[in-house]
Structure 1
Amino acid sequence: MLFKSIGLSFALLVCSVAEAACPALLEASGVEGKEPLTLGRCEVQVEVQSPGARGQVLLKLNEAAAQRWREDLKAGTPRWSAMLGARANVRGFIVMVPQGVLLESHSARLLPGAAWLWDARAATLLLVMPGGNAPAPAEAPALPPGVDCALFNTGRLLFWFDDRDVQAGELLASQPALVRAPHDFVVVPAACIGGWRLSPGAPAAMDAVSGIGMVAQDAKDGTTFTLIAQVGAQTVQGKMRVVDPVKHPLRGLWRQTREIACGTGAQRVPPQPLHELRFRSNGDFSATWTPFERYIDYEGSFIYDPASGALNLAVTGGNNLPVDRKIVARTRLDADGRLIVSVLPGGSRNPTDAGVCEMIFVRR
């Protein structure tokens, strides 16, 4: 039975084969020296299903992807051997989802209660999560070594630091984590999560047992909703924002690779490149010449006009503020997808060569 929530039914990821980009939905890795075996969002049809108390997602591969997977998972190949030995990881678009085995018709030796089922003949990949009729794991369910669910009763739990951008038709598979220090995170095991839900009116469906979900095909750009998980006595939440990439051409993280001299147009490697120029779908931006943990030089809001290339930045805070808090820049995106921007002020610690008129950025 197709899983339905709030009157929405999800069955198909629609992407044009002609599109240049096909963002990764899943990848199967774990073979040393071999590239991951991937699935793009435009290579599959997706059904979020919930038979009884169990959560599962069925991915039906298109012909090109099916041929690739069948070839790479033939009996005796390195990938097949890795999957058979449960050494390969399957990663989701947002976070890692359970490690397991991919065999031609069944699975074995998985993390507690979870199963990845690859059917080569039907070209389908089925993710089955705890509860129900999954093949029994070879060993009794166990938490990771040294981890007890009591660990997550106190302390800060989160999904991500900033709002998370998602796209219409995106598969959702998330895991909360306990933050013990800036670089010390402990992922909450599935066995310690008491249930999942979405905020009322969310343009998405989610299975309450597994936390597997999908954003609606017709989700509108700018719509926000919240992912909620119960971990012991704590409730952890993560805000998501639906983004149409066509409407947000600057969105994402950019790094400077070149600068262009005034007059001559000569390009050179900048002595002090702007390593992180970030534009968010909510209209915020930040600029950081030398990234370190959560340090930024300055941040604020931006307004971008794709037709004229005008970029207006309003600086509201940071650690190394420019003299002018209202920055007007010219931009253009070239045929190679590079972002070319008139010089942005760098503040007292990042002076700009007066002979430079433009900065060239590529996506990180």
Structure 2
Amino acid sequence: MKTHAIRWLRSLLAVTMLSAPAIAGAAACAPFLDILDAARETIVLSLSRCDVRPAAAWPDPWQAPAWRLTAPAREGWRNALGHDALRTDLLAARLRARPADPALLAGPLLLRISARLPAPAAWRWDADRGEIAFAPHPSEAQACTGPGALMIWDHVVDIAPGNAVRCEVWRVERPGLQQALPADCVDRWQVEAPAAIDQQGTIRVPPDAADGSLLGVRAQIGPREVKASLRVFDPSRHPLAGRWHQTAVIACDGGERSVTAPIRELIFDAGGEFSVTREPFEAYKDYWGRYRHDPERGTITFLPKGGNQLPEAMRLSGRARLEGGTLTLEQIQLWPKQADGALCGMRFER
């Protein structure tokens, strides 16, 4: 009987010693965060205390406490959120967080600050960092909403192969009043192949992109999609494309004269459009139209089709001579009466 009791006591002690770490481990791996589906019924993602480690707080505009996921948890979240169904719910702010810590409020899980923020708190997942952060009051969320139209560009933007361009979404409340939205308002950027775009809105065009390719650009801001176009052009085939400013007029005796009211913007695009503006102000143009340029012959013709100010007695056909960053238009007058005496040309620089 005594031997049996000793054996029983040793067994109990062994079980107690083995169970203590297990119990401690269970406590350490308590639930941390569950992500529910749109109906708030099914758990689609979860994290325990063992899956996260405290990380440095995210900077403005969040000023949010953050946690870094362990490698297995990070990989699991990346895989799960890579599926279109989940990603769509995420972008629509339909997934809801259910935190175990009562100090952390429930709210939508966002890839970025959302224009549809339905609650005063939100969670954000950053796949690049492998971190999740909690923002009780994401201060810039309201900047994503408001009256007015949204645009990326008000015209087709030209870009040479091998170059990059940065996109922004602008809110236009009325003519003359526009402002760029915070970058975090954009849930997703997209551009048509062969170009690529990152989440910051930087488009990169490969060196082998074909001249004349017209690429669609899209920004997703909540339920709203903003569209723009990007045109790839070969500078050797469209040497005038770009923005020029007038530096002189050319008299018919060959002499150059300064000009007190120059054309500050002469814009050519690779699609054959031009505009002329003496005093640029936001989107204002004096007049615009199409142009025909033959680089081999050196001839150019301007064909105005509309404008706010369309000068009289213009000379619209002549020669275009390009030397480095200087453009000389001979027998051309896009804005007459710029100087006393007869004028037979204009000089511009990039």
- Per the normalisation by structure 1, the TM-score is 0.55
Distance 2:318 2:148 in 1: 43
Task: State the Cα deviation string for residues 67-89 of structure 1 (Å, max 9, x = none).
Answer: xxxxxxxxxxxxxxxxxxxxxxx
Equivalences for 1:338-349 in 2 at 5 Å?
338-346=326-334
Task: State the Cα deviation string for residues 156-196 of structure 1 (Å, max 9, x = none).
Answer: 11111111112223335422121123443333334332322
Task: State the Cα deviation string for residues 27-53 of structure 1 (Å, max 9, x = none).
Answer: xxxxxxxxxxxxxxxxxxxxxxxx957
Q: 1:230 to 1:113 in 2, by over 3 A?
A: closer
Question: Displacement of 1:325 after TM fit?
Answer: 7.7
Identity level (%) = 34
Distance 1:352 1:166 in 2: 36
Match of 1:276 in 2: 265
Match of 2:250 in 1: 260
- Per the normalisation by structure 2, the TM-score is 0.57
Verify the 8 A CA contact 1:322 1:345 in the aligned structure 2: no
Verify the 8 A CA contact 2:125 2:131 in the aligned structure 1: no
Greater alpha carbon shift after TM alignment, 167-176 vs 305-314: 167-176
Distance 1:150 1:296 in 2: 29
Match of 2:305 in 1: 316
Q: 1:196 to 1:133 in 2, by over 3 A?
A: closer
Q: Return the letter of the residue paired with 2:263.
A: L
Equivalences for 1:123-202 in 2 at 5 Å?
131-134=126-129, 143=138, 147-148=141-142, 151-152=145-146, 155-199=148-192, 202=193
Query: Which residue of 328, 338, 349 corresponds with 2:317?
Result: 328
Q: Return the letter of the residue paired with 2:266.
A: L
Task: State the Cα deviation string for residues 268-310 of structure 1 (Å, max 9, x = none).
Answer: 2123322221111110111223334433332111111112211
Verify the 8 A CA contact 1:345 1:351 in the aligned structure 2: no
Distance 2:168 2:139 in 1: 15
Distance 1:302 1:283 in 2: 6
Aligned residue pair count: 235
Equivalences for 1:57-136 in 2 at 5 Å?
131-134=126-129
Q: 1:198 to 1:296 in 2, by over 3 A?
A: closer
Unpaired runs of 5+ in structure 2?
A: 1-76, 83-109, 113-123
Distance 2:170 2:130 in 1: 28
3-state SS in 2 of match to 1:230 = strand
More RCO (CA 8 Å, sep 6+): 1
Verify the 8 A CA contact 1:346 1:352 in the aligned structure 2: no
Q: Return the letter of the residue paired with 2:185.
A: C
Verify the 8 A CA contact 1:316 1:325 in the aligned structure 2: no
Task: State the Cα deviation string for residues 215-241 of structure 1 (Å, max 9, x = none).
Answer: 233111111011111112211011110
Match of 1:355 in 2: 342
Query: What is the alpha-carbon root mean square deviation over aligned residues?
Result: 3.5
Equivalences for 1:216-295 in 2 at 5 Å?
216-263=206-253, 265-295=254-284
Distance 2:180 2:279 in 1: 29
Verify the 8 A CA contact 1:276 1:291 in the aligned structure 2: yes
Verify the 8 A CA contact 2:301 2:317 in the aligned structure 1: yes
Q: 1:186 to 1:258 in 2, by over 3 A?
A: closer
Unpaired runs of 5+ in structure 1?
A: 1-50, 56-111, 115-128
Distance 1:276 1:190 in 2: 29
Task: State the Cα deviation string for residues 246-285 of structure 1 (Å, max 9, x = none).
Answer: 221111111111122222x322212332222111111011
Distance 1:157 1:186 in 2: 10
3-state SS in 2 of match to 1:253 = strand
Q: Return the letter of the residue paired with 1:236.
A: V
Distance 1:144 1:248 in 2: 45
Match of 2:60 in 1: none
Q: 1:242 to 1:184 in 2, by over 3 A?
A: same
* Bigger radius of gyration among the two: 2
3-state SS in 2 of match to 1:282 = coil
Q: Return the letter of the residue paired with 1:341.
A: L
Q: 1:273 to 1:210 in 2, by over 3 A?
A: closer
Q: 1:292 to 1:184 in 2, by over 3 A?
A: closer
Match of 1:70 in 2: none
Question: Displacement of 1:356 after TM fit?
Answer: 2.2
Verify the 8 A CA contact 1:204 1:215 in the aligned structure 2: yes
Match of 2:85 in 1: none
Distance 1:320 1:184 in 2: 22
